[in-house]
Amino acid sequence: MNIYQDIILDHYHHPHNFGNLNKFSKSIQVSNPLCGDKIGMTVNFEKNEIKEIKFQGEGCVISTASASMLTDYAKDKSKHELKKLDSKFIIKMLGIDLGLNRIKCAVLPLEALHKLL
C-alpha cells in the first residue's frame, strides 16, 4: 500500500467530522443510486464562511474518506472558495487513480457541499 491508500483507510475507519450538528444553518442529503452511498451534511455559516461542518451516512471507503477529508478542508473557507472546487480537486485530494464508477463515489460529498452553498 502507498501513503495515500493508508490515509484513505484511516479516514474511512476514523472519519473526521462524523455525525450531526445539534444546531445548524443548513442540511442536505444526497445519494448515489448506482452504488447505494448516502451522505448527509450539516453546516454552520458565519458570514460567508463555514465555521462547523459534519457529515453522516453510509458509504464505501472512497465516499467516506472523501467526506472526511473534504469536511476538514472546508472549515473556515468562504462559500466563494468552496464553489470553485471540482472533481479534479477531489481526485488530487485523495491522491489515487479512480475509475469512472469510483469518481462518482468520491465526488458525492462535494455534491452535498455545493448544494449547501
Query: What pTM was estimated for this model as a whole?
Result: 0.93
**Domains of the chain by residue range:** 3-116
Query: Which of the residues in the chain have pLDDT under 50?
Result: none
Beta strands, E only, the chain: 26-32, 37-46, 49-58
CATH fold, domain 3-116, is Sufe protein. Chain: A (3.90.1010)
The 10s digit of each residue's pLDDT in 72-100 is 999 999 999 999 999 999 999 999 989 88
| pLDDT at residue number 100 | 81
What is the phi/psi pair of residue 43, to 5°? -145, 150
Residue 100 C-alpha cell reads as: 469512472
| pLDDT at residue number 1 | 55
